[in-house]
Structure 1
Amino acid sequence: MKHLTTGVNCATLTPMDSDGAACIPLLAAHCRWLLAQGCANVVLLGTTGEANSFSLEERKAILEDLLETGLEPQRLIVGTGCCAIDDTVTLTRHALRCGVDRVLVLPPFYYKNIEDAGLIEAFAKTIDAVGDGRLRLYLYQIPQLTGVAFSAAVIESLLHAYPAIIAGIKDSSGDWEGIRALCFQFGKRMDVLAGSERFLIAALRAGATGCVTATANAHPAMIA
């Protein structure tokens, strides 16, 4: 398969003004600096970007306003995952309309101990409702915050059902053995992105395609 996301990708912070609104000029300048320092892509509105501190309308406006500054949508991956499937669908459709085809999607969270069948159904409903062949979806594994982990069976089922849509997984669990297992099981069929630069070299050797790192906000050139 062709890997879409490789190298060092920065999970950008979202600068805010005193009222808590996103400061787009600072965000745009920061994104350009990250790319100029060697980052392959910028991950917008993930955990570091405090996505869940913003409303749906604010999240849409941040993406639109950032793109209006001239940033290329091909260099962005946008977090669109929400508790409610309809909200995830809304943000994912919006990203695609804006020209961003790579999205990072949390599992539905808050309710814990979700069975595999429920997790598969949630993503299937999301993908089917979006209904756009351009979509390239990255599963977001961060169980210490969501309380939900993707089992190998869930990933296998989604890859089988949506081989052109499921583009990869970002694993921010901090569990190296889990990341290595993902590389071994799925590294030839989708992108595996370590959720920290700590694991980058070892992960690349194991078959990962790169990492998504928050540390690059401060030291992108040292990592990239």
Structure 2
Amino acid sequence: MQWKGVMPAMTTCFDPQLQVDHTFMARHANWMIDSGCTGLIMLGSLGEAATLSTEEKIAILNNMVQTAGQRVPVVAAISSLSTAESVSLAKAAATAGCKGLMVLPPYVYKGDWREMKAYLSEVITATPLSCMLYNNPVSYGTDFLPEQIAELAAEHSNLQAVKESSTDVRRITAIRALTNKLSIFVGVDDAIVEGIAAGATGWVAGLVNAFPKESVQLFRLALAGKDEEAFALYRWFLPLLRMDTVPKFIQLIKLVQQETGMGNERVRGPRLEITGHERDEALGALAHAMQTRPAL
């Protein structure tokens, strides 16, 4: 498992009956792989995992593993209400052929570090797969501090990466100061250039679902230290990248996919497709981006 590069947090496509559209998801995955993405992360927040049954999750993983083949690794996001359910899903992901796991804190319950460490340890040790810890205190209310992340990494050889989504790029340098073992991924789209400058070597991306070539190019320019070119592309991209950082990010990213011809905006409840001024603002930002889209 190579934790590096741009890995999409893939959306889950639904057909008109709100069933998983596996045929489209395979086409979508191939498009992003062909555009230079280095892995596929399935069943995350953007993938609407909380609305999927266990059977649907496993079917998605099987489809993506078959689609990706040996080209890029498939990573399964592991999230649930209970430790037992997370462990079961981790084992199912390994059986399906996934190469890595992205381990989230449990839904709903926000425990202390003793409880969270015990939970994470059970999931990480459930399989021999390489693991990424997902730290997103904004969305999940559980904040894994740099000291705690380093402690967990020291105890588990297969914890090899962290997705840092606290929105504070100082966390990247703080983690790096405590351990060199972990690959650090930026988990919020509108902090990618700053995150790479601070030492990140990967990006779990959202708008990549609609703009994979631009996402990969931005990452490569920033990683190569080509600041002028990177910031020129970044300035163009930022109004769209900021859609990844608001509560309705799933609806917004799926709307952008629909309007750019790679997907649809269908979401499962309790989410609803965006309407009114929110929709107008999003479509306005996208229209401007399409009119000024740079040649790569």
- Per the normalisation by structure 2, the TM-score is 0.68
SS of equivalent to 2:68: coil
- 2:51 counterpart residue number: 53
Alpha-carbon deviation of 1:71? Answer: 2.2
- 1:223 counterpart residue number: 215
- 1:206 counterpart residue number: 198
Letter in 2 for 1:45: L
**Which residue, 16, 28, 40 being the options, matches 1:18?**
16
2 CA distance for matches of 1:127 and 1:223? 30
Letter in 1 for 2:115: G
Q: CA RMSD in A?
A: 1.8
Task: Decide whether the 8 Å contact of 1:203 with 1:210 is kept in 2.
Answer: no
- 2:86 counterpart residue number: 88
Q: Where do 1:49-198 residues align within 5 Å?
A: 49-68=47-66, 70-72=67-69, 74-112=72-110, 114-128=111-125, 130=126, 132-133=127-128, 135-162=129-156, 164-186=157-179, 188-198=180-190
2 CA distance for matches of 1:121 and 1:198? 32
CA offset digits 1:143-181 (Å, max 9, x no partner): 12211111223212211211x210111112222222342
Alpha-carbon deviation of 1:39? Answer: 1.1
Q: Which has the higher contact order (CA 8 A, sep 6+)?
A: 1
CA offset digits 1:68-119 (Å, max 9, x no partner): 4x3226421111221211111111111111221211111123123x211111
The gaps in structure 2 that reach 5 residues or longer are 217-296
Alpha carbons of 1:201 and 1:192: their partners in 2 closer, same or farther (altered >3 Å)? same
Letter in 2 for 1:212: V
1 CA distance for matches of 2:19 and 2:160? 31
Structure 1 ranges of 4+ moved more than 6 A: none
Letter in 2 for 1:184: A
SS of equivalent to 1:104: strand
SS of equivalent to 1:149: coil
2 CA distance for matches of 1:157 and 1:180? 16
- Per the normalisation by structure 1, the TM-score is 0.88
Task: Decide whether the 8 Å contact of 1:11 with 1:43 is kept in 2.
Answer: yes
The share of aligned pairs that are identical, in percent, is 26
Answer with 197-206 or 41-50: which moved more.
197-206
* Bigger radius of gyration among the two: 2
In the alignment of these two chains, the number of paired residues is: 215
2 CA distance for matches of 1:150 and 1:51? 21
1 CA distance for matches of 2:171 and 2:41? 22
1 CA distance for matches of 2:163 and 2:131? 11
Alpha-carbon deviation of 1:7? Answer: 1.3
Task: Decide whether the 8 Å contact of 1:8 with 1:223 is kept in 2.
Answer: yes
